[in-house]
Amino acid sequence: MSNLKIEIFGPGCPKCMNTKELFMRALSEMGIPADLREISDVEQMIQRGIMSTPAVFINGDKVIEGKLPTMPEVKKLIKQNLE
């Protein structure tokens, strides 16, 4: 199993920080290795077509934009992207 690549885009707002924390907790609880990166560069956000934050990409695919996910949603997204 290869590591998931998770990118969390945002300017460091509370929702963005909470999203990062949820993903870190979920990965830890599930025992899944991942390359998790927090990206605040506006140019990268524009290039990726992000209109609102937080935005999360897993393995290059946008899975969340403009909302704070719940822990069950985060775990479901992680599981779906392991397949």
State in Å, rounded, how far the first CA of the chain is from the last one. 9
Catalytic residue numbers, as ranges: 13, 16
Residues 6+ apart with CB under 8 A from 44: 9
**62 vs 48: CA distance, rounded Å:** 9
